[in-house]
């Protein structure tokens, strides 16, 4: 990792009389994976939407590669809990749609590579309604990665999956990130998911949210959550969250 990819500087946001984000500042290094956890309703998703350019801050700024962010940019892709796969397109067509209007060369070969990477080879012609929830999430991840975004913004991407499938998808994502370089910002309510995936974990306070504590996850991948260091970190984070 070298240099700051994202600089969040004194972001403040409210909705009417409701103060949501209160002067949040942090940096994300190029290639770093930062997870953000916090109490329900504290403003995590609002903060991520501001950083990704989908919402405007009332005060403060976000800089990507030193340039002030004024709106969404194709150098970053959002993967959310709600999903964004087009139901009327096949799996392959969903990926090809993401590449439309780009200068990528062999687009069919590129889509095949990423479908194979997420374990969906053989399902190119399937429609979303024919797939399980876990497979749909794989399509969404492949569609995000196929355009080679520099930044992945992830808002509780696996929260709709059952516990076992969520663990499988976390492992899959970590494997892909070991192959390809991306800067990642993850919003999650799952402390163990944050420990398993991230290089650094920011714990937010209740609303109006500020950064309460920062934890560096100094453990090599692949990680075992049964590791005593991971267990101690989990206890420390839960304590910060008041649990």
User: Looking at the predicted structure, is the pLDDT value of residue 62 above 60?
Assistant: yes
* Reported confidence tier of residue 138, pLDDT bands at 50, 70, 90: confident
- Calculate what percentage of the chain has a pLDDT beyond 70: 96
Read off the pLDDT of each residue in 176-189 and give the average, rounded to a whole number.
Answer: 91
Q: Are strands 200-204 and 59-64 parallel, antiparallel or unpaired?
A: unpaired
Instruction: Report pLDDT for 206.
Output: 93
For residues 177 and 172, what is the distance between their CA atoms, to the nearest angstrom? 9
- SS3 state of residue 68: strand
Residue 133's CB is within 10 A of a number of other CB atoms, namely 14
Rounded to two decimals, what is the model's pTM?
Answer: 0.89
Whether 160 and 119 have beta carbons less than 8 Å apart is answered as no
User: Looking at the predicted structure, is the pLDDT value of residue 103 above 80?
Assistant: no
Domain boundary among 121, 149, 177: 149
Domain boundary among 115, 149, 183: 149
Which helix (H) or strand (E) element contains residue 15?
A: strand 4-15
Residues 6+ apart with CB under 8 A from 119: 138, 172
- Strand locations in 134-196 (E): 151-155, 183-187
For residues 239 and 55, what is the distance between their CA atoms, to the nearest angstrom? 31
Domain boundary among 149, 175, 201: 149
β-sheet bridge partners, residue 80:
155
- SS3 state of residue 197: helix
- Residue range(s) defining the domain that contains residue 118: 84-149
One domain, residues 163 and 53: yes
Lookup result for tokens 């990130």:
177
Instruction: Report pLDDT for 209.
Output: 94
Instruction: Report pLDDT for 163.
Output: 84
Q: What is the pLDDT of residues 10-33, one digit of tens each?
A: 999 999 999 999 999 999 999 999
User: Looking at the predicted structure, is the pLDDT value of residue 141 above 90?
Assistant: no
One domain, residues 54 and 158: yes
């Amino acid at each position: 990792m070298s240099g700051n990819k994202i600089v969040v500087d004194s972001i403040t946001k409210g909705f009417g009389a409701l103060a949501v984000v209160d002067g949040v500042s942090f940096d994300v290094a190029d290639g770093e994976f930062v997870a953000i956890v916090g109490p329900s309703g504290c403003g995590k998703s609002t903060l991520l939407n501001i950083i990704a350019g989908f919402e405007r801050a009332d005060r403060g700024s976000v800089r990507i590669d030193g340039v002030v962010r004024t709106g969404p940019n194709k150098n970053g892709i959002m993967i959310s809990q709600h999903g964004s796969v087009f139901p009327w397109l096949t799996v392959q067509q969903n990926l090809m749609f993401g590449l439309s209007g780009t200068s990528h060369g062999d687009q069919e070969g590129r889509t095949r590579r990423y479908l194979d990477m997420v374990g969906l080879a053989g399902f190119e012609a399937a429609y979303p309604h024919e797939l399980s929830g876990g497979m749909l999430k794989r399509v969404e991840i492949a569609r995000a990665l196929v355009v080679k975004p520099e930044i992945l913004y992830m808002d509780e991407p696996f929260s709709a999956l059952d516990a076992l499938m969520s663990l499988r998808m976390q492992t899959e994502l970590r494997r892909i990130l070991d192959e390809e370089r991306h800067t990642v910002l993850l919003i999650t309510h799952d402390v163990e998911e944050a420990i398993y995936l991230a290089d650094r974990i920011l714990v937010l306070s209740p609303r109006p949210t500020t950064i309460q504590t920062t934890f560096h996850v100094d453990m090599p991948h692949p990680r075992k959550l049964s590791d005593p260091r991971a267990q101690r970190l989990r206890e420390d984070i839960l304590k910060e969250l008041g649990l």
